[in-house]
Chains A and B, each alone.
Chain A
Amino acid sequence: MTSELASIETFLATVPPLDRLEAERLTALARKMSVRYFRAGQTILEAGSHNDHLFIIRSGAVELRLAGEELTARMAQGGIFAYPSLLRGGEVNNTTVALEDTLVYMLPAAQFHSLRDGSQEVREFFAENESERLRSAVRDLSQKRSNILEETSIAGLQRHRPPVSCHPQDRVAAAAMTMSEHDVSTLVVCENDRICGILTDKDLRNRVLAAGIDPDTPVHEVMTRDPVVLPETATLSEAMTRMTAGGFRHVPVVSSDGDLRSILSATDILAFLGDSAVDTGTKISKARSREALIAAARRIPEGFARMQASGFHASHVMRFTSALGEAVHRRAAQLAEIELGPPPCSYAVVVFGSLARGEQLVGSDQDNGLILSDDVDGAGEKYFDGLGEWLSDLLHECGFVYCNGGIMAKNAAQRLTLSGWRDRFDHWIDDPDEDSILRATIFFDMRAVSGEAELARHLHKHIRRKVKTNSLFLSYLARDAQRSRIPLGIFRNLVLEKSSDGQKVFDAKGQAILPIIDIARTLALAEGSPAVSTIERLEWLAEAGHMARSDADSLRDAMLFVNELRIAHHAEQLRSGKDPDNAIAPGELSPLERDYLKDSFSVIRDALESVKRNMAGGIV
């Protein structure tokens, strides 16, 4: 006698997470189920009641309302519901009503629990909250996408050239000469064959020259002590993670005995991956003319698409794309100086928004300005008038198109002295109104990419101090963050919203990423954090105890997950010759991606709610 439920099993095999189960397990599971039918409008589960089944929608659609009131989700064929109640011991929170005539398969609680016990993947899918599911999603994506990075050890891409080193007692000038002679940007400082420090170009600039330190100073006084080192058995992925987390581009590689083997640079990794990014980066920084820079910059989108195809994480793609963007801005400013002559006073080119945060993808417009030294005179202003125009025009040609809002150095309003910028920020902060906040938030993500970085640092410090004590301004920021309508999820092929019945496409930037950026910015400014990138802000907030670690991690995961989707979407558009945008059609997403997107929305909504509760109170 046979007892085949083949068609039911076939259906179950398309439903995540059951799709991960072996066929035999699925067969056994199908036989434990019962089938029920609910007429449109009929209540399937009532909030407050007891439930002992997992529900899988075979046909039709249902609506979940928290405590019978607030719409929390809609689901159609393949949707699974009621498991949170099983995890709580049966207590039902959401009233579930059939929106259409609905056929459901029901799995008894006991089987549901043994299913969870038997598989980690299933357990993670049916995690108690969105955050846990999202965490496993981000991990899954990383695992799926970065095999090359996980399987290759850095030993495979070390240079043959022995690393250049010096002694901690050597003079800084001598160390600089050694670096120059060997044409390296990083020098390892060794004592008795052990690494005790590292000295980079940047250190020479920031800690020696800019700080006015005597070149005769011994190296150990300015070096970075006890730098992070990597064993040569580390994988590319580990190396990239350490570099990204630490924000450095060079890491000494040591043998198992602790002997220095080489210096690994971010460039080495990119070169290994055969990506054009490194090549593009070199071409950008060495461009001798407008035309050369334009040609190099226009290769960024191609490099972006390749990074995506090679399986780079969202965080790396953002970071590398931003690095290239920054290089274009810096080189454009240098070319402008070559063209217009040396600047009459010190100044800095600052960028705002995504480039400042190191979160740029492709297709962004330019958001920049100049901070001029306070001693600039009339002739000087004229010079910067020309430089600003030259810069904006060139950047436009390079693919960083003119900013609709006019936030670019060619506009006089974006070329202020340090005091002028201070006044402008003071005005925003002291006298906030909804309209000015809307346009001003982008300015609070700021970074110098060329010229005198100290000017930007001064300004940033000033802003940080001022904002921290201004709760009215912060409440405006908190309220501004609430502007976006965060969807509930994807229902059928519509983006489900609370207020309207749904829309055809999901604005991945406006409806998910911007709110996360806003949340991180608002909280970071409130606590006086110096961090600018969203992930660093979240990390800072968690470290400093201003945000629960789990909340910070969840927001980070949501951001990475949605950016993975955005990057894939952009890369696909670039490959088919379209201009990248952020409008993702639900049809582009897999069932699992839809589920994780729903979790991301939930995490974002919760965080927005908490910001609103804690900070927007002053004016609401």
Chain B
Amino acid sequence: MALDFELDGLGRGAHVLQAGWVEVSHGGIGLSTARSTDVRSLRQLDDQAVTVHGIGEQRARGGVAVRDIVDLFLREFAGKIIVAHGASVEREAISRISKAAFGIAIPVRTVCTLALERRLKPNLPGGDAYRLAATRQRYNLPPHEQHDALSDAIAAAELLLAQLSRMPPGTHLGAIETH
């Protein structure tokens, strides 16, 4: 499951404003599984982040409550590996909100396309070369709309397909899991 969170800041305590996800497998990406949702946050929004993501405070307040999101995860993500570009953000956010909701961090397995790219192409100069847009370009993937959770999730899923095409056929996701 490719997942992307848009957060209200860059810090450790940042809140999730929007989540987008889509299922991806060796066979491709099924767009019928694509979902995105705004997440309700009671926290005062960081003005700067709000501008970037285009999600105003009002819209954020109208979103799904964080608690419902956790329920949703348990249902939709059960047994699935989460794919994201820079997956630590998603992993940490999930553990943070599940801790807040149930008192325990849900264990998540992730495949990080960024980490994978560092493995596939270890010696690219500069950190920017590993950003999602730049990485996609190397695989001849089209430009994507950034700072939209679903669009970023699909972008990461497409990138994973491209990366898998460079690996031995039948490479299991478990083999490229990020720990």
A5 within 8 A of B: yes
Q: Is the CB of A286 closer than 8 A to any CB of chain B?
A: no
Please tell me if A39 contacts chain B, counting CB pairs below 8 Å: yes
> Chain A 98-112, CB within 8 Å of chain B: the 1/0 string?
001111001000000
Closest to B64 in A: A1
Interface check B126, CB cutoff 8 A: no
User: Which residues in window 30-77 of A have CB below 8 A to B?
Assistant: 30-39, 42, 58-60, 77
Q: Which of B31, B36, B139, B144 contacts A101 (CB 8 A)?
A: B139
Once the chains are docked, how many angstroms separate the CA of A34 from the CA of B140? 18
B34:A3 contact, CB within 8 angstroms: yes
B129 in the interface, Cβ–Cβ < 8 Å?
no
In the bound complex, do residue A42 and residue B165 qualify as a contact, i.e. CB atoms below 8 Å apart? yes
Given the interface pairs A58-B142, A100-B140, the reply to whether A5 lies near B150 with Cβ below 8 Å is yes
Q: Is B108 an interface residue (CB 8 A)?
A: no
In the complex, chain B residues 127-172 whose Cβ is within 8 Å of any chain A Cβ: 139-142, 144-145, 148, 150-151, 154, 157-158, 161-162, 164-166
Q: Is the CB of A102 within 8 A of B140?
A: yes
> Would A33 and B144 be within 8 Å (CB), given that A3-B36, A4-B150 are in contact?
no
Given A31-B34, A34-B30, A7 contacting B165 (CB threshold 8 A) = no
Of A4, A6, A32, the contact of B32 (CB 8 Å cutoff): A32
Q: Give Cα A106–Cα B31 distance, bound, in whole angstroms.
A: 10
CB pair B36 A2 closer than 8 Å = yes
Interchain CB contact under 8 A, A7 and B141: no
- Chain A window 12-45, contacts with chain B (Cβ cutoff 8 Å), 1 for yes, 0 for no: 0000000000000000001111111111001000
CB of A148 closer than 8 Å to a CB of B: no
Residues of A within 8 A of B29 (CB): 34-36
- The interface residues of chain B lying within 8 Å CB-to-CB of A100 are 140
- Across-interface contacts of A3 in B (CB, < 8 A): 34-36, 150
Contact at A35–B158, with CB atoms within 8 Å?
yes
Most buried by B among A8, A38, A100: A8
B37 contacts partner chain A, Cβ-Cβ < 8 Å = yes
Cβ of A100 to closest chain B Cβ, rounded Å: 6
- Which of A11, A34, A102 has the largest number of chain B CB atoms within 10 A? A34
Query: Chain B interface: which size bin?
Result: 20 to 34
A197 CB → nearest B CB, Å: 68
**Contacts A5-B150, A59-B140 given: A37-B31 contact, CB under 8 Å?**
no
Alpha-carbon distance between A100 and B27 when the two chains are bound, in angstroms: 19
Nearest B residue (CB) for A2:
B36
Q: Would B32 and A35 count as touching, CB distance under 8 A?
A: no
Closest A residue to B165 by beta carbon equals: A39
Contact B140–A30 (Cβ < 8 Å): no
Chain A residue nearest in CB terms to B24? A35
Within the assembled complex, what's the spacing in Å between the Cα atoms of A581 and B29?
48
Whether A59 contacts B165 in the complex (CB less than 8 A), given A7-B151, A30-B31, A35-B157, comes out as no
Taking CB atoms, residues of chain B closer than 8 Å to A77 are 142
Is B56 part of the binding interface, using a Cβ–Cβ cutoff of 8 Å? no
Distance (Å) between the CB of B27 and the closest chain A CB? 8
CB closest chain-A residue, reference B31: A33
Instruction: For residue B104, give the distance in angstroms from its CB to the closest CB of chain A.
Output: 26
Docked-complex contact A31 and B151, CB < 8 angstroms: no
Given contacts A1-B37, A1-B64, A34-B29, contact A101 B162 (CB under 8 A): yes
Q: Are A1 and B35 in contact (CB under 8 A)?
A: yes
For the complex, give the distance between the alpha carbons of A58 and B144 in Å: 11
Judged by a CB distance under 8 angstroms, whether B13 is at the interface is no
Chain A residues positioned under 8 Å from B54 (CB to CB):
none
| Residue ID in chain B nearest A101 by CB atoms | B140
In contact, A4 and B31 (Cβ under 8 angstroms):
no
Query: In whole angstroms, what is the CA distance A77 to B38 when docked?
Result: 32
A58 to B155, CA, bound (A): 13
Residues of A within 8 A of B166 (CB): 39
Q: Quick one: closest B residue to A10, CB to CB? A: B145
Q: Which residue of A lies closest to B38 (CB)?
A: A2
Interface centre among B36, B37, B166 (most CB of A within 10 A): B36
CA distance A226 to B1 in the complex (A): 77
Taking the closest CB of chain A, its distance from the CB of B15, in whole angstroms, is: 18
Scoring B27, B31, B142, B165 by chain A CB atoms within 10 A of each residue's CB, the highest score goes to B31
* Contact (A103, B31) CB under 8 Å given A5-B150, A35-B161: no
Within 8 A of A (CB), among B105-138: none
Q: Give the residues from 43 to 65 in chain B that come closer than 8 angstroms, CB to CB, to chain A.
A: 64
Bound-complex Cα distance A2 to B34 (A): 10
Residues of B within 8 A of A11 (CB): 142
B139 surroundings in chain A (CB, below 8 A): 37, 101
**Interface pair B141/A4, CB less than 8 Å apart:** no
Residue pair B144, A59 in contact (C-beta under 8 Å): no
Q: A31 CA to B162 CA in the complex, in Å?
A: 21
Tell me, rounded to whole Å, the shortest Cβ–Cβ distance linking A397 to chain B: 56
Query: Please, which residues of chain B bring their CB within 8 A of the CB of A58?
Result: 142
**Structural contact, B165 and A6, CB atoms closer than 8 A:** no
Name the residue among A11, A30, A101 with the largest chain B CB count within 10 angstroms. Answer: A101
- If the complex has contacts A3-B34, A30-B31, are A37 and B162 also in contact, measured as CB distance less than 8 A? yes
B31 touches A7 (CB 8 A): no
Complex alpha-carbon distance, A223 and B166, angstroms? 81
User: Which chain B residues border A106 with CB–CB below 8 Å?
Assistant: 28
- Quick one: given A31-B31, A101-B140, are A37 and B36 in contact (CB under 8 Å)? no
Which chain A residues border B157 with CB–CB below 8 Å?
Answer: 35
The CA of A428 and the CA of B166, in the complex, are separated in Å by 63
For A102, what are the chain B residues with a Cβ–Cβ distance below 8 Å? 140
In the A-B complex, the 9 residue pairs with the closest CB atoms: A37-B161, A101-B140, A35-B29, A36-B28, A39-B165, A59-B142, A7-B145, A34-B28, A1-B37
Q: What residues of chain B have their CB less than 8 Å away from a CB belonging to chain A?
A: 27-32, 34-38, 64, 139-142, 144-145, 148, 150-151, 154, 157-158, 161-162, 164-166
Known: A1-B37, A8-B154, A37-B28. 9 other contacts (CB 8 A): A4-B148, A5-B34, A7-B148, A11-B142, A31-B34, A35-B28, A42-B165, A77-B142, A103-B140
- Would you list 15 pairs from A and B whose C-beta atoms are within 8 A, ordered by A residue? A1-B35, A2-B38, A3-B150, A6-B148, A8-B31, A31-B32, A34-B28, A34-B30, A36-B29, A39-B165, A59-B141, A100-B140, A102-B140, A103-B142, A103-B162
